[in-house]
């Protein structure tokens, strides 16, 4: 690759963005999992309905933090840019909802996993999809 040290590799913009995206996503995953648990255990919702609601809830949270920190070099600052970015990330993340919920269903139904563990794995796997599309379209970063 031509990196003289590990630090040179870690300082590459794509790696920094990916690291930040993972941190933001991890925090949102905790919020999403907590909300999922509350909606299933206390509100009595089906775990798939609760997962969809908890995913949608964290979309706004992640957009705000990713815009301010992860993709700060391409940050949406005007009202129009911000709203267009919000619509784009909702499209990206909205299209990831069936992927994540489908994986969750498969892990619980066919894999026999507890819904919270299956959700964690589904978040991770669908996160790869979300990072690629958000970085390439929502914030238009060239990879």
The tens digit of pLDDT for each residue in 18-50 reads 889 889 999 999 999 999 999 999 999 999 999
DSSP state of 68: I
Look at residues 127, 140, 128, 133 and name the one whose alpha carbon lies nearest to residue 58: 127
Backbone angles phi, psi at 140, to 5 degrees: 45, 60
The tens digit of pLDDT for each residue in 111-123 reads 999 999 999 999 9
Q: Indicate whether 139 pLDDT > 90.
A: no
10: confidence class by pLDDT, cuts 50, 70, 90 = low
Could you tell me where the DSSP H helices lie in 42-114? 47-65, 79-109
Q: Do 46 and 53 contact (CB within 8 A), yes or no?
A: no
DSSP state of 71: T
């Amino acid at each position: 690759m031509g990196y003289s040290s590990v630090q040179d590799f870690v300082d590459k913009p794509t790696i920094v963005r990916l690291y930040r995206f993972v941190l933001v996503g991890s925090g949102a995953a905790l919020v999403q999992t907590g909300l999922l648990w509350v909606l299933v255990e206390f509100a009595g919702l089906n775990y798939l309905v609760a997962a969809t609601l908890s995913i949608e809830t964290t979309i706004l949270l992640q957009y705000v933090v990713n815009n301010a920190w992860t993709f700060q070099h391409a940050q949406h600052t005007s009202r129009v840019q911000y709203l267009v970015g919000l619509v784009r990330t909702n499209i990206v993340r909205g299209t990831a909802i069936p992927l994540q919920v489908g994986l969750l269903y498969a892990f619980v139904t066919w894999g026999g996993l507890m819904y919270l563990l299956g959700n964690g794995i589904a978040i991770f796997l669908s996160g790869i999809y979300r990072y690629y599309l958000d970085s390439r379209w929502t914030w238009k970063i060239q990879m």
